[in-house]
Chains A and B, each alone.
Chain A
Amino acid sequence: MKYTLMVNEGPYQHQSSDTALQFARAALDKGHEIFRVFFYHDGVNNGTRLAVPPKDDRMLQKEWSELAEKHGLDLVICIAAAQRRGLMDASEAKRQGLTADNIAPGFRISGLGQLIEGGIESDRTLVFGD
């Protein structure tokens, strides 16, 4: 089955990122396809490469990046939500006249149309929220 996942909460504060990550792993292990993972609301904070959680905790942002690399996942951060919360890739940072970017490997920034397209193209769309 072809899935699109939507992640609406930031890492650590809520469980939704953990649950989505575990669902994605389990679905891929069973041979399903993840068409796209779309990060919205505070969920965009899953895409920062500047998080440094304590050594004995899980490293959610890094785990998303690793899963994306292993399976060629399309991890999309909503640009409108990202701009509000300070998530930037190099080209967006340059466009905004900012001195730094912080997006993690495997993520890309794009528009809400990517979420709707996911809903159209996938057999199931799952929302991981609060």
Chain B
Amino acid sequence: MAKKFIYLNRKAPYGTVYALESLEVVLIAAAFEQEVTLAFLDDGVYQIAKGQNPKALGMKNFSATYNALGDYGITQFYVERESLAERGLSEDDLMPIVYEDEDDDYAEKPSVRVVSRAEMAQIMADQDVTFSF
């Protein structure tokens, strides 16, 4: 039976390597036929913010990869509302990440769901395996 894996992303996309290496784990995890959920909290919400441009830092902009995860069957992105608000951000500041729903004539559907801190706690509690980055 498939297990439920959640990947907690808590850190900004640049400045440390956690976000990039977390994404590398998620891409491998997609091959294992397990249920995969991504959560973005704290500064981790910046990982899926629009308009990233780390060129001046000499770093690779890997943000487009999040939008490709739908093709790997990863379609559940939960973003904590309070983390956005604490940073002066709203859902409009996030990339419009979508997936094609095989069961609904490949209709494009949003992968990102903004949830409250209390809802996020419940989502975490429902998992079998939690990886925190």
Closest residue to A85 on the B side, CB-wise? B17
Evaluate contact between A113 and B3: CB separation under 8 angstroms.
no
Which segment, of A24-32, A47-55, A89-97, A114-122, faces chain B? A114-122
Known: A119-B3, A119-B129. A80 touches B24 (CB 8 A): yes
Contact-size category for B: 10 to 19
B28 at the interface (CB under 8 A from A): yes
The docked-state distance in angstroms from the alpha carbon of A29 to that of B34 is 32
Evaluate contact between A116 and B34: CB separation under 8 angstroms.
yes
Known: A113-B28, A116-B34. A40 touches B21 (CB 8 A): yes
**Count of A-B contacts judged by CB separation below 8 Å:** 46
The docked-state distance in angstroms from the alpha carbon of A41 to that of B18 is 7
The docked-state distance in angstroms from the alpha carbon of A32 to that of B34 is 25
How far, in Å, is B35 (CB) from chain A's closest CB? 11
Evaluate contact between A112 and B28: CB separation under 8 angstroms.
yes
B65 at the interface (CB under 8 A from A): no
Evaluate contact between A41 and B21: CB separation under 8 angstroms.
yes
Closest residue to A122 on the B side, CB-wise? B129
The 0/1 profile, CB within 8 Å of B marked 1, for residues 75-109 of chain A is 00000110010000000000000000000000000
A1 at the interface (CB under 8 A from B): no
